[in-house]
Structure formats: C-alpha cells, structure tokens
A and B are shown apart, each in its own frame.
Chain A
Amino acid sequence: AQKVTQAQTEISVVEKEDVTLDCVYETRDTTYYLFWYKQPPSGELVFLIRRNSFDEQNEISGRYSWNFQKSTSSFNFTITASQVVDSAVYFCALNSYSSASKIIFGSGTRLSIRP
C-alpha cells in the first residue's frame, strides 16, 4: 500500500523562526518519487521540489531545504528564517512504480507565520 503521512495538522511560528514540516511515506517499491507542493490562499498548488528514491542528497534552494532519509522513510521540509509570505498549506506527495500514474497526497500541514 502507498501512503503519505503529514502528522502536523497546523504549525504557527513567529516570523524569522525556522520551521520543519514532517513527511513520512510508505511504499514497497524501490523506484518512487516524492514531491512537495505549496497551496497559498488562492488555492492553486505550486510545485516546489521532486526527489527520486535513488538520490538521497539533501537539497537547498534559498531559504528552503529538504532532507530525504530512506532509512526512516521521511522527506522533511525546512524553511529557514520564515516570512509571512510562507504562510500556506504544504503537501507532501508520492508517486511510485506500483501506483502507476496515481499521485498520493498527504493531508497537508497548514503553516501560519505571525509577524
């Protein structure tokens, strides 16, 4: 079975704090991809990053960084020096070999950054 769990329903931090969003996934496939999306209040999902199962290198893009650990089946997302514009709902997603074209989403984490 394929599953994505985002245990943090809501997080609220003060601006400039660092914040980490957790994502735990389940799959028996050895080939799979993981994604993070941002959903601002406007509603459209914005793609942030894709990571394949054979590449465990961490990635940094500006204030965003991602930590992929196959040993714990986790793909966590950290925002450094958070800003009010980071306030949104963030989704982690999984696309694996046995699920073919189906993309499985976690339930999302609502992040609020207070000024």
Chain B
Amino acid sequence: DGGITQSPKYLFRKEGQNVTLSCEQNLNHDAMYWYRQDPGQGLRLIYYSQIVNDFQKGDIAEGYSVSREKKESFPLTVTSAQKNPTAFYLCASKSTDYTEAFFGQGTRLTVV
C-alpha cells in the first residue's frame, strides 16, 4: 500500500543523547515535512524539503537536523541541543504546491 511510514512509534531517549526518527514515503511525493505537536497544541513546522538534497528551516528548527539524500526518505535527528524534546512528531509529504499533505502515524518521543 502507498503511504508514509514513521518509525519507531514510541521512542525513549536519555538526556544528552541524539536520536533519529525515520520517515519513508512511497507516494513519489517531492515535498516532505516534519511537525512537532505538544499536548493540547497545534502543529509546529520543524523542517521541510521540496527536493532531494535541499531543505529549509521551519518555525522551530533549533536543536533539530534533517537530511534528504533520497526522495523517499526524510529522517529527523533530535539533538542534545533540543532542550525539551518530549513531544509527538509527525512526518508528512505532498506532491506539488497547493495539494493536500498526507501524514504518517507519528512518533512519540519521551526523554527519560
């Protein structure tokens, strides 16, 4: 089935560690996104990428890094510089401007 796969579904991280969240899509979409959602809050854009080997910072990029080496993949690394990383992370993709985005099932990250 075509779609977006995020893994893992739940992730626990010790303070001071970097962790990488996976996002893979087989929809042949050009654009991919990472959003952060805190409890009871809306979606805040972390990074987005419109083509391979290119990406732009969103509204809350500090403490995060991404890469886009393949069209299908857009991994997000939460670095130790992110002071409050506990949140729900959603990955999305879409084909062109103005079309709807499709979302993965999310990764819930908890710092322990």
Least CB distance, A53 to chain B, in whole angstroms: 10
| Cross-chain contact A101 with B50 (CB below 8 angstroms) | yes
Interface contact A44-B97, CB-CB below 8 Å: no
CA distance A50 to B97 in the complex (A): 12
Measured between C-beta atoms, what is the minimum distance from B59 to chain A in Å?
A: 9
The interface size bin for chain A is 20 to 34
Task: Tell me if A75 counts as interface (CB < 8 A to partner B).
Answer: no
Question: Is there contact, CB below 8 Å, between B100 and A35?
Answer: yes
Are A107 and B98 in contact, CB atoms less than 8 angstroms apart? no
Query: In the complex the two chains form, is A107's CB within 8 Å of B106's CB?
Result: no
A50 to B48, CA, bound (A): 21
Known: A43-B88, A101-B31. A95 touches B42 (CB 8 A): no
Asked if A91 CB lies within 8 Å of chain B CBs, one says yes
A72 within 8 A of B: no
Size range of the chain B interface in the assembly:
20 to 34
- A103 contacts B by Cβ under 8 Å: yes
Could you tell me the distance between the alpha carbons of A91 and B108 in the complex, rounded to whole angstroms? 19
A107 to chain B, nearest CB (A): 4
Closest to B44 in A: A105
Residues of A within 8 A of B105 (CB): 42-44
Which residues on the B side are within 8 Å of A105 (C-beta)?
35, 42-43
Chain A residues 24 to 78 lying within 8 A of chain B, measured CB to CB, are: 31-33, 35, 37, 42-47, 50, 52
- Chain B 81-110 interface mask (CB, 8 Å, partner A; 1/0): 000000010101010011111111110100
Q: Write the residues of chain B forming the contact surface with A, with a CB cutoff of 8 angstroms.
A: 31, 33, 35, 40-43, 45, 48, 50, 58, 88, 90, 92, 94, 97-106, 108
Q: List 26 A-B contacts (CB under 8 A).
A: A32-B98, A43-B88, A43-B90, A43-B105, A43-B108, A44-B90, A44-B105, A44-B106, A45-B103, A46-B103, A47-B100, A50-B100, A52-B98, A100-B97, A101-B48, A101-B50, A101-B94, A102-B45, A103-B33, A103-B45, A103-B94, A103-B101, A105-B42, A105-B43, A107-B41, A110-B40
